Amino acid sequence: MVYGCSFIYVVRGGVGSYSIRINRRLRFVLREWSIYIGVVVKMYVEDTIAAISTPPGTGGIGIIRVSGKDAIDIVKKIFVTPKKKDLCKVKSHTIHYGHIHQLESRQIIDEVLVSVMKKPHTYTCEDIIEINCHGGIVSTRNVLEEVLRSGARLAEAGEFTKRAFLNGRVDLVQAEAIIDIIRSKTNVELDSAVHQLEGSLSSEITGIRGELINLAAHLQAAVDFPEDDIRELSPEVLKQSLEKIKKRMDHLIQTADMGKIIRDGLSTVIIGKPNVGKSSLLNALVRDKRAIVTEIPGTTRDIIEEYVNIKGVPLKIVDTAGIRETDDIVERIGVEKSKEFVQKADLVILLLDGSEALNENDKEIIRLVKNKKVIVLINKADMEMKIDYAYVKQRFKEDVVFSISVKEGNGLEKLEDTIREMFFGGEIDVAHDIVITNVRHKDSLIKARQSIENGLNSVIIGMPTDMISIDIKDTIENLGEIVGLTVSEEIVDRIFEEFCLGK
C-alpha cells in the first residue's frame, strides 16, 4: 500500500500526538507537547483497491467493490452501457446498466449494474464503484479479475474500512463497531454496535480527553509564561477536576461487565442429575426442539450450546449431561464436561426433580454450585411434590429458588424475569447507554484510570506542576489509543485483519 501525507496548517492551542505511515515502512511520528503547536495532518492513500464484497458462493447478486482515485477510470475500461455513457461524467451516487467486457478480447462477461459514488461522501472517502453482477462464483470472480487486470490491486481484509479510518471518516471505535455489526449474534449486540458506530462512545472519550487537554494546556501555560499572568489552578480545583474525570472513566469501566455479556452472551449452564428436564428447559427457552428429550436418564451426553435472547439479555446457554456416578465411559466424559462448564459459567441454572426425593447426586451438585451465581428450579411442579423443599431453601437465597413445570410452561416467565433482574437490575437500553463491549477499550481505559489516579496522588502530595502534567499527558494518550489518535500501527493492522475481505 502506498501512503502519502501532507501538512495543511499549524494552529495555536492543540495538544496531542499524530502518527501516520508513508510507504508502509517509513513511520512518521509527529509528537508534540507544546501547548502552542498543533499540526493538522491530511493523509491520502495512493492506489486503487478492489474485492468481492458479497459472501463467497452463489446468490442473487455478487458485488465487486472498487475504491481509490482511479476507480472510475479503471472500471470505464471494461464497462460499456448501451448508450456508451462516460462514467467520468455521470452524477455521483447514480446506478448504470451495462455489460462488463474482457479488457483485451472485448468479449462480454456479464450483464451488470454499476453504482458510481464520487468522493468525499463515500464509505472510504474515495471514489467508489460497485459492480452488481449475477451472483455466481465464476461470474463474480471473472469480473473481479478484469478489474484487477485494468489496474486495481486486490484489497486486503478490512482495507476499505481501514481507508475510511485513515481518511478520517470514522475513528477506531467506529471501525471496530462495523466489525461488531457484521458479527452480531443477537439484536442486543447489534443495537449496541450500531450505537457505537453512531459515535456515542467516541464522543464520550473525546469529551473526557478534551477536558484533560484543557487542563494540561492551562498547567503548562502557567509554567511556561509566568509573565503573561495566567491564573494558576489551585490544587483544590485541579483535584476536583481530575476526580470528576476519574468518575466518568470509572463509570465507563463499570459497564464493561455488561459489555462482555452483550458481546459474548451471558454464559449460562443448565445442570442437574439425569432426567430432571434440563434438555426440556433448553428447548423451552430457545423455543425449538434443539436437544433430544426422552424419559431415559442419561439421554444427553455431550454439551449443547445455543444463543437465546431472554428479555433483552443475550444468553449463551449450555445443556449438559446429567451428573451421576456412572460406569459408561461416554457418559462419564459428559459428566466431567458438565462439571467444567459449571466452573466457567456466569450463571448456573440448577434443576431438581420435585417429584422425587433428593438423592446423593442432587446433594453433590448442590455442593458443586455453592460459590456460583445460581438459580434453583424445582421442576415437574405438575406432579406430586416429594422433594425436601426446606433442605434446598436452607442452602440458597430464598428469591432464587422456585418451582416450575417445563412441561406445562409454568414458571418460565419468572425464570426470565429473575435472570434479567439478576444481571441488569432493571432496564437495559443498549441503544442509548454507552457500554464498553471491547476488551481493547477496557484495557486502555484501565491504563488511563491508573494515569489519572497517579496525577491525583501527585496533586494530593503537592508534587510540582510538571510531574502532574506528565500523568495527565499519559491519560490523554491512553484515551487517544481508544479512538485511534495515538494507537500503534501494529494495533491498527491487527484490528483491520479481523475484518472480512471486501469490507
Question: One symbol per residue from 331 to 360: x for binding ligand GTP (CB under 6 A), - otherwise; what is it?
Answer: ------------------------------
**Distance of closest approach, residue 456 Cβ to ligand GTP, in angstroms:** 54
Q: Out of 372, 407, 440, 447, which residue is the one contacting ligand GTP (CB under 6 A)? A: 407
Angle, helices 187-197/200-224, rounded to nearest 10 degrees: 40
The type of residue at 53 is: S
Near ligand GTP by CB under 6 A, which window of 45-53, 127-135, 261-269, 295-303? Answer: 295-303
Residue 226, helix vs strand vs coil: helix
Evaluate whether 153 touches 48 at the Cβ level (below 8 Å).
Answer: yes
When the beta carbons of 128 and 293 are compared against Mg ion, the nearer one is 293
- Per rule CB under 5 A, count of chain residues that contact Mg ion: 4
Q: Which residues pair with 97 in a beta bridge?
A: 113
What does the block give as the cell for 232?
494558576
Q: Out of 300, 403, 437, 458, which residue is the one contacting Mg ion (CB under 5 A)? A: 300
The entry of Mg ion, ligand GTP, none near residue 503 (CB within 5 to 8 angstroms by kind) is none
Q: Out of 382, 416, 443, 453, which residue is the one contacting ligand GTP (CB under 6 A)? A: 382
Among residue numbers 259 through 288, which ones bind ligand GTP (CB under 6 A)? 272, 274-280
Evaluate whether 411 touches 176 at the Cβ level (below 8 Å).
Answer: no
Closest to 69 (Cα-Cα) out of 118, 114, 131: 118
Angle, helices 200-224/465-483, rounded to nearest 10 degrees: 160
**Distance of closest approach, residue 286 Cβ to ligand GTP, in angstroms:** 13
When the beta carbons of 174 and 280 are compared against ligand GTP, the nearer one is 280
**Distance of closest approach, residue 333 Cβ to ligand GTP, in angstroms:** 14
**Distance of closest approach, residue 164 Cβ to Mg ion, in angstroms:** 47
When the beta carbons of 296 and 461 are compared against Mg ion, the nearer one is 296
Q: Which residues in 149-178 are b (16+ Cβ under 10 Å) and which e?
A: ebbbeebbbbbbbbbbbbbebbbbbbbbbb
Under rule CB under 5 A, residue 279 binds Mg ion: yes
Q: Out of 318, 406, 428, 495, which residue is the one contacting ligand GTP (CB under 6 A)? A: 406
Near Mg ion by CB under 5 A, which window of 34-42, 254-262, 295-303, 323-331? Answer: 295-303
Under rule CB under 6 A, residue 96 binds ligand GTP: no
Residue 19, helix vs strand vs coil: strand
With residue 3 as reference, give the H or E element that holds it: strand 3-11
Q: Is the peptide bond before 120 cis (omega within 30 degrees of 0)?
A: yes
Residues 6 or more apart from 446 whose CB is under 8 A from it?
253
**Distance of closest approach, residue 401 Cβ to ligand GTP, in angstroms:** 16
Q: Which residues pair with 130 in a beta bridge?
A: 65, 115
Cα–Cα distance between 283 and 308 in angstroms, integer? Answer: 11
Q: Out of 104, 229, 295, 490, which residue is the one contacting ligand GTP (CB under 6 A)? A: 295
**Distance of closest approach, residue 300 Cβ to Mg ion, in angstroms:** 3
Percent helix, strand and coil across the chain, each to the nearest 5:
45, 20, 35
| Residues forming the site for Mg ion (CB under 5 A) | 278-279, 299-300
| Residues forming the site for ligand GTP (CB under 6 A) | 272, 274-280, 293-295, 297-300, 321-322, 379-380, 382-383, 405-407
